[in-house]
Amino acid sequence: QLVVLLIFMLWQVAAGVILPAEIDQIKIKDPTVTHPFPRLFFNYEDIETLRKKADTSHARITAEVKFAARQIMRRPELYVPPVNEARFHASWNEKVGNNLCIFALYCLLYPDDTEALAVAHQYMDRLARYPSWEVRGGEHDEMPMSHSIVGLSTAFDFLYHTLSVDQRKFYFERIRKATARHFERFKSASWGKFHLQNHVLNNCVGLLTGALIVNALDKRGEMWIKLVTAHLNRTTTLISSIIDGSLDEGVPYSTYTSRSLTMFAFFANRHMNLNYYDNYWFRQYFWYLYGTLLPGYKETVGIGDACRTWFYGPESQLVFLDTFILKKGYANWLAFKIKENRERTGALKSSGSQQWTTVHTEYIWYNEEIPERAPEADGITKLTTFSDWGVVTYGASAPPGSTFLSFKSSYLHGRAINNAVTYSLQPHLINGWSSLNPGHEHPDQNSFTFWPRGQPFITEGYYGAKFSFNNNVLMFAPSKKTRLCGPPYEGEIGECYKWLSWMSDESAGLSADIIAAYEDDGYAFISGEAVNAYSPQLRLKSVYRNAFLVTPDVLLVVDNVEKHGDSEVDRFASFFQTNAGKLGVQHLDIYDRPVAVLRYDDKTFTAAWVVTNDQPTKAAYQAINFPKANDFQYSSTQYLNVSGYLTDSLTRIAYVFYGPGPTVSLPEFTFKDESGYVASITVDSTEYNLRVVSQHDNPTKRLTFLGHTGFATLQTSNGEKIKFGKDSYQPTPVLYDIEELASETNSETTSESCKRSPLTYILLLASVFALIIVALFCQKRIHYYWTTVTIIMLVIFFCIGQLEALAADCSVKKVVVQVVHHHQSTVDPGTKLPSVFISSLKQAGAEMIGVLFNKTTDFVYLSFPQDIALEKFSDADPYIVNPCVWEINEAYENPISDWLRQLYWNPYEAVEKLKGDNQGSVIPVETLEYMSEKAKLYPGARLALAAANGFWNLKLPWMQEALGASARVIYTVRDPRSWVAYMIASKQYEYIWNTLRKIFSSDPCAVQGTFHPAFTPIRSMVNSDDFEDPAKLLAHLWFADTLATLELLAGTNDYLIVKVEDLVNEPENTAEMIFAFVGMPFSTAARHYVLQMTRSNDFKLPFNEQLRPTNLNFWHHVLTSLDIETIESITMPLMTKLDYKPV
């Protein structure tokens, strides 16, 4: 067996699956305990404490433990494994292992209940005597086996002290054999290669649980532990990229995966000293559960293969989050809210296979010392966007009776993992789609649900076969495909199978995206583009759906379907699931046409629709039954089907859905052209006119059609006007007001180092004393040798030189009086489209902010080609700083100005020209190709340039003039201590020193520009060969460049100062502020990227540190205390005004 294990390890290494270093870093603790068991979650010495909590702090959880125990005792034939082994193998049997855990916990807490203990021993004995734990006919699926391993291992661990010697040997050997067999399957089964899918986590944690038991008495378990932990470590690394806490399989299946993830994180910490608690996904998982909870705390969003509630927990996962990660009481509060509102009967009852699976971990992990409290914004109806999952909810976790709306438009497997596969971002972790399994996803892009006043109207199709008509989406005809599951219509990519087909060539391009998600004063506007969720053979140009919540009772939905000229598609069919009440289609006199009516709990819900081409439509109510494979799957669905014709290249269909109460008119298109439409609807005598731009990816078209750069405008007959995407966010800019400095006195603006340095007074006194001695010598009042006098004269010259340097230093710091203040834009960004220029010192933030603009279709982004400037305007190396100020009046006289303006007005032609001139350029050809493709695909996109090399900082006013009046300048700064530490740690100091010597060896501005006096101390230092103090030189460099840049910006408009630390500490707020300053919408993609950049493991600081708030002060570990004191003494005037705190 050892030989086989070694061969497997070598195969894993050769295949790039698990590396030796990954195994070596896993060290299993060897606890010094008097009893070998329990060991999984607690020690023998902890049992008494657990028992004392049962009827006190943990009473609410204990009530469920007791209830489960009574049920098992009362009906053992339903829960205890049957004597007849065939019955055990005949059906899905995970409940046997699941229910054993809670029953073992009951016996542990109440040892006097000997009757229950006898049943528990019988339960364990029957399970252990089965030679195998698979389901007959499903031997390829190891899930039931994993549940049985967890169940028997947990019961053995909890009840070890109650077992006889023979029982201990028998159960241990059965666990060892089952775990060994599970490990053999791990080596060959898909779950040993996949990541993230629920089978992977469940099976791996089953293997880990059994291995931890085995390792206590048999060291063969050690290698099992290390290998499965290494595999799970890769999964947790990938999951850290999913920054919204979601999982692609939907909320119910996420609780299956998170049940295993929490167990793994706990086991890894307890048994291996591995810390996964700082994984950002865990922190956000609370908000995922909270933001998908329907009003009333009884059920969740049913996206994907889902039921209306949760499969496992989520109370256990929630108390885990509060105990080990959040520690705020939010998760404990939500756990007990869900527990209090659970239904034990009816449609919302949990499955018998899963209802008690996680109660034992909930009991163990619950920390009663963390008081329960609701999140601050609880009870307020709000919009929540899951930027990775591609889902928006409105009204989640709101009070009972509140309106709920959800909308889904997403990438296959979510944005982060899809990008990782598409662009091979983490090839050492995943091998394309063959390492993943998003089969539980649905063909449901642009699907939505609507629960007016908490009543189900438009619902999900829930768990079932992957048919487009089982979701609230569009289908089209005719189709060129030979296999259709809803003929003659073709739906979204991946449909027609039991699981979503994700491995086909078409599926590789499956994507959709949330375009807009805004709320304002009770209105909500959500839109999604799903054209890439359909086969390219259909030749569709846009499938753009807008959902507008008019009132809590009324939802207006508009589908904008645009075809290419050669498309043969001429029909559409839309589907709306209504899995509540009785649905029918009838004629209503108020509309003079057929409408759909749903009757639910004696209430009436209505759906009506119109089409822009005035062609007739058909409506039908249909119901479908599916094979029911598991007891938690839905076996049927019912839906409304509206079908019609696509006679024009652009067709729009408007639907209105409303609950009982309001009087609602039929939607009407009062204006429409290729750019957009105006849809009008009247609700209770109030008219609502929604103006929506169809070409959502073209900011020029949005500006022309709407008068602003957002996505829609609402006007009501009551005088309300709301610009969705423009006025929906009112930023509170974190702009650093250093204007006050201009009004301070000279004494206040003199730096501390100038006012208080003892060296100043010592040098001054030495100079005066030496001068007196020389004067007396010349008057022959004292007698010295000429040698002595010569030495005294040299001392005088040295002191004067040092005083001059100090004076220059102080004078530079006094320039602050005239320099630093900020401007907000004085040009309304809604009147003209902006161009953007981002600049900073090297590694001071421009590259971080610049990439945000690359994640939106509104901008063509370029990391500015500094070599052009170097070649045409200066012989100085531009990669550090450039002390030359370019005059604004020269902005139209340089060759680069013409290229910049061309890039601004026509990015595509400018990039094409740059590609032609790119011989020998440092700009990668693939970068230019990408820019060219994006500029061609999005002709309305504006220009965003980022220069992170320091060369352009003193040219920002010139750049503003060159780019035109609508240019927006963003200047990023970084804590000088952090910046200096990075330069020292990355071993760039010698290069910087040599570069500065080259720059200042002659007049650096001889070719063009004017030398800025802030750099005078730098010139003095590099010319004096003072090479021994890197911190001092770099601090002066940061101070001079920052000071000069702020001085120059003070005389301009439309600039923004952004601190890197703000982007890291408050990424969403800071990025939202940046886009508000620019005057463009903050896209879902940019929102996702800024969080992924600052919260995941994907982006690093020096020394492989994660770019997170806790790591911003890494400079403490790089700089000495003397370095820090030197840097602060030099830069303190600007540090203070930029709100950087001294040590």
Q: Which residues are catalytic?
A: 199, 253, 463
Exposed/middle/buried for 775, CB within 10 Å: 0-12, 13-18, 19+?
Answer: exposed
> Any idea which residue has 């073709």 for tokens?
490
3-state secondary structure 887-914: CHHHCCCCHHHHHHHHHHHCHHHHHHHH
Asked whether the beta carbons of 294 and 249 are under 8 A apart, the reply is: no
Q: What distance in Å separates the CA atoms of residue 1097 and residue 243, rounded to the nearest whole number?
A: 10
Q: What distance in Å separates the CA atoms of residue 497 and residue 439, rounded to the nearest whole number?
A: 10
Find how far residue 405's CA is from the centre of its chain.
22
Q: Look at residue 804 and give its three-state secondary structure.
A: helix
Residue whose C-alpha is closest to residue 1143's, from 1127, 1060, 1029: 1127
CA distances, 1044 to each of 30, 501, 741, 996 (Å): 60, 58, 15, 17
Asked whether the beta carbons of 539 and 564 are under 8 A apart, the reply is: yes
Dihedral of the CA atoms 389, 395, 396, 397 (nearest 10)? 170
> Any idea which residue has 């007396």 for tokens?
776
Query: What are the tokens at 966?
Result: 């609508």
Asked whether the beta carbons of 20 and 228 are under 8 A apart, the reply is: no
Query: How many CA atoms lie less than 13 Å away from 110 in the CB half-sphere?
Result: 18
Q: Which DSSP helix (H) or strand (E) runs through 860?
A: strand 859-863
Can the peptide bond before residue 733 be classed as cis, meaning omega within 30 degrees of 0?
no
Instruction: Name the H helices within 779-881.
Output: 786-814, 816-819, 846-854, 866-873
Asked whether the beta carbons of 184 and 224 are under 8 A apart, the reply is: no
Query: What are the tokens at 401?
Result: 């009776």
Dihedral of the CA atoms 342, 343, 348, 351 (nearest 10)? 90
Find how far residue 301's CA is from the centre of its chain.
20
Q: Look at residue 43 and give its three-state secondary structure.
A: coil
Q: What distance in Å separates the CA atoms of residue 860 and residue 65, rounded to the nearest whole number?
A: 59
Exposed/middle/buried for 424, CB within 10 Å: 0-12, 13-18, 19+?
Answer: exposed
Q: What distance in Å separates the CA atoms of residue 825 and residue 965, rounded to the nearest whole number?
A: 11
**Other beta carbons less than 10 A from residue 698's beta carbon:** 19
CA distances, 532 to each of 304, 410, 535, 542 (Å): 19, 10, 7, 9
Q: Report the alpha-carbon angle 337-340-343, nearest 5.
A: 120
Would you give the end-to-end CA distance of the chain in angstroms?
Answer: 58
Query: How many CA atoms lie less than 13 Å away from 142 in the CB half-sphere?
Result: 27
Q: What are the beta bridge partners of residue 142?
A: none
Q: What is the side-by-side strand order in the sheet with 676-683?
A: 668-672, 676-683, 686-693, 712-716, 721-724
Q: What distance in Å separates the CA atoms of residue 314 and residue 256, rounded to the nearest whole number?
A: 9
Asked whether the beta carbons of 454 and 296 are under 8 A apart, the reply is: yes
Can the peptide bond before residue 834 be classed as cis, meaning omega within 30 degrees of 0?
no
